[in-house]
C-alpha cells in the first residue's frame, strides 16, 4: 500500500482513470455491437448510421491509447466492408 501522501494521491488518481478508461472501452464495444446488430438485421441504412456515429469515438479512443489504433482501424474496416457487402 502507498505510504506517502503523494503515492496515496497517485493511487486515487489511477483508480479514477482506470474506471474512466473502462467505461470508455465499454462504450466502444457497445458501439461495435450496435453496428453488428444492424448488419445482422439486414438494415443497411441503420448500419451506416450506426457506423458513422461510432467512427469518431473509435478514432478518439485510439488517439488517447485506450484501444490500440490498429484495433480501431481493423474494426472500422471490417464493419464498413460488411456493410458494403450487404447490397
By C-alpha distance, which of 53, 54, 47 is closest to 75?
Answer: 54
Ranges of each domain in the chain: 5-84
* pLDDT value for 87: 77
pTM: 0.85
Rg, the chain, Cα only: 17
Q: 61 near 72, Cβ under 8 Å?
A: yes
- Residue 1 pLDDT: 78
What does 23-60 look like in DSSP terms, one character per residue? HHHHHHHHHHHHHHHHHHHT-HHHHHHHHHHHHHHHHH
Integer Cα distance of 23 and 13 in angstroms: 15
DSSP code for 18: H
- The CATH architecture that domain 5-84 belongs to is Up-down Bundle (1.20)
Digit-coded pLDDT (tens) for 23-50: 999 999 999 999 999 999 999 999 999 9
Amino acid at each position: 500500500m502507498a505510504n506517502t501522501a503523494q503515492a496515496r494521491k497517485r493511487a486515487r488518481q489511477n483508480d479514477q482513470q482506470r474506471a474512466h478508461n473502462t467505461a470508455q472501452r465499454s462504450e466502444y464495444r457497445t458501439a461495435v455491437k450496435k453496428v453488428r446488430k444492424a448488419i445482422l438485421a439486414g438494415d443497411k441504412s441503420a448500419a451506416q448510421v450506426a457506423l458513422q456515429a461510432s467512427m469518431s469515438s473509435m478514432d478518439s479512443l485510439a488517439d488517447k491509447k485506450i484501444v490500440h489504433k490498429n484495433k480501431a482501424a481493423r474494426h472500422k474496416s471490417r464493419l464498413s466492408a460488411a456493410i458494403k457487402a450487404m447490397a
